[in-house]
Amino acid sequence: MSQKKIIIIGGGIIGLSTAYYLEAEGHEVVIVDKGNLKKGASHLNAGYLTPSHIVPMAAPGMISKGIRWMFDASSPFYIKPRMNKDLISWGIKFMKSCTPNHVQRSLKTILDINLLSKELYLEMQQSPSLDFHLETKGLLMAYQSSHAESEEADVVAWARDLGMKIKQLDNKEVLSLQPNAPMNIAGAYWYESDAHSTPEIFMKNLKIDLENKGVKFILERKVTGFQKKGSRIINVCTDKEILASDEVVIATGAWSETLLKPLGINLSVQAGKGYSIDVASDTGISLPAILLESKVAVTPMQGFTRFAGTMEISGINHEILTKRVNAIGKAAQNYYPEVLVSQETLNTVQCGLRPLSPDGIPFIGRHSAVSNLVLATGHSMMGWSLGPATGKLVSELISEKSTSLSLKPFAPERAYGKNI
């Protein structure tokens, strides 16, 4: 295998993870990003490594929930009503994917890539040049109602069939595991295989590690286009320079659809806004949890507790909806009666945009329109969890090696709603 010059567009968790594995294969790697790599979804997420998240967002029941919640700006899943061609196209594909057969086909696919990624995170943690926070304490799926318990029980049954270890705990058992933060819940399912991390620490230290290894970063540059020769990209054009490349990786998250259109690639990706609130005071929370009724994720990170959540499909923007922020604060107070999330803390809320594919499965692989282009986007809420696995798979593909997993389920040109 000859060394290649590879331009990765996008410096989030997917882009940096891809650079990590490509550099290890001996390639010359350049990362181009429109920002400064100090904020965004890769810094503001819940930090979960989630083998537990085996059900794609496109699942039966999501259509009715989406319609019911569409006009409620405080709901966990909110689609801002608007006439937009790309949103309508995405929505049709999403509806086609919300079937029992799609869920069953996706379970093992999602589990396998999550398990691979967790294994790779643990390997990275052993690297002497890369220091970051990572703990395997599992994940509580906490419920207050019998309805939420019943819905999660279906997922538990599928997960157990796939070999995952899950315990059902009552309130007292949860309290014995986490005595300093009593929860107002009926019980929880405890997915023992899940882990959590502090994204900001990982991203900062991974960037330093890559720079020390010779990876070049070109930041605060907007990619304005591509120069092609036949079916190949020969140059990536930014607003300040032209960069020659042998291979190009698109890891631009929610911005991928717009960037790819000039290449004749119609990739269906919608931006899913998520909110993040950090509580600096000691909450006593020691176990990660998802509050099932409110869909809020809670993570004890290094030096603070993060409350994150909601899914808002309202286009590419960073506008903060107060109703959604207050809903997270209300959920925190409801589930953790002794934890105070002050208005001052709520006012520090930040948001990031997650790239949603229509079927909840990421796009990883080549596209027939451009022979030296690899897509690595559309990870929905699992971008953090799947970063290293995606980077490894892309590196194997570019290095012309056998891939650790079949890329067929992640094919960018896959059909939606087939074999239903």
Model confidence over 309-347: pLDDT tens digits? 989 999 999 999 999 999 999 999 999 999 999 999 999
Q: What residues pair up with 168 in beta bridges, in sequence order? A: 189
Percent above pLDDT 90 for the chain: 90
- Whether 418 has a pLDDT exceeding 70, the answer reads no
The residue type of 183 is: M
How far CA 411 is from CA of 23, 149, 403, 405, in Å, comes to 24, 34, 13, 12
pLDDT at 70: 65
pLDDT at 362: 98
Q: Report domain extents, the chain.
A: 5-410
Q: What is the mean pLDDT of residues 36-45?
A: 94
Q: What are phi and psi of 30, to 5 degrees?
A: -125, 130
Alpha carbons within 13 A on the beta-carbon side of 56: 31
pLDDT digits (tens, 9 = 90+) for 386-404: 999 999 999 999 999 999 9
Sign of CA dihedral 242, 243, 244, 245: negative
- Picking from 346, 269, 276, 343, the residue whose alpha carbon sits closest to that of residue 307 is 276
- Picking from 392, 397, 406, 386, the residue whose alpha carbon sits closest to that of residue 115 is 386
- Whether 198 has a pLDDT exceeding 50, the answer reads yes
Are the beta carbons of 304 and 279 closer than 8 angstroms?
yes
Are the beta carbons of 274 and 31 closer than 8 angstroms?
no
Are the beta carbons of 390 and 362 closer than 8 angstroms?
yes
- Whether 262 has a pLDDT exceeding 90, the answer reads yes
- Whether 415 has a pLDDT exceeding 80, the answer reads yes
Sequence-ordered list of residues with C-beta below 8 angstroms from that of 290, at least 6 positions apart, any chain? 139, 140, 141, 142, 296, 297, 298
How far CA 363 is from CA of 4, 76, 407, in Å, comes to 22, 25, 9
pLDDT at 66: 66
- Whether 419 has a pLDDT exceeding 60, the answer reads no
Q: What is the mean pLDDT of residues 278-298?
A: 97
pLDDT at 80: 82
Alpha carbons within 13 A on the beta-carbon side of 22: 31
Q: pLDDT band at residue 420, thresholds of 50, 70 and 90? A: very low
pLDDT digits (tens, 9 = 90+) for 57-107: 888 877 776 667 666 777 778 888 788 999 999 999 999 999 999 999 999
> d(Cα 287, Cα 139) in Å, to the nearest integer?
7
pLDDT at 277: 97
- Assign domain 5-410 to its CATH architecture: 3-Layer(bba) Sandwich (3.50)
Are the beta carbons of 216 and 222 closer than 8 angstroms?
no
How far CA 169 is from CA of 140, 172, 179, 283, in Å, comes to 9, 8, 14, 21
- Can you list the pairs that 100-106 forms with residues at least 24 positions away whose Cβ atoms lie under 8 Å? 100/60, 101/419, 101/420, 102/56, 102/58, 102/59, 102/359, 102/417, 102/420, 103/55, 103/56, 103/59, 103/60, 105/409, 105/419, 106/54, 106/55, 106/56, 106/359, 106/360, 106/361, 106/409
pLDDT at 35: 96
- Whether 40 has a pLDDT exceeding 60, the answer reads yes
Percent above pLDDT 70 for the chain: 98
pLDDT at 234: 98
pLDDT at 69: 67
Are the beta carbons of 274 and 35 closer than 8 angstroms?
no
Are the beta carbons of 369 and 416 closer than 8 angstroms?
no
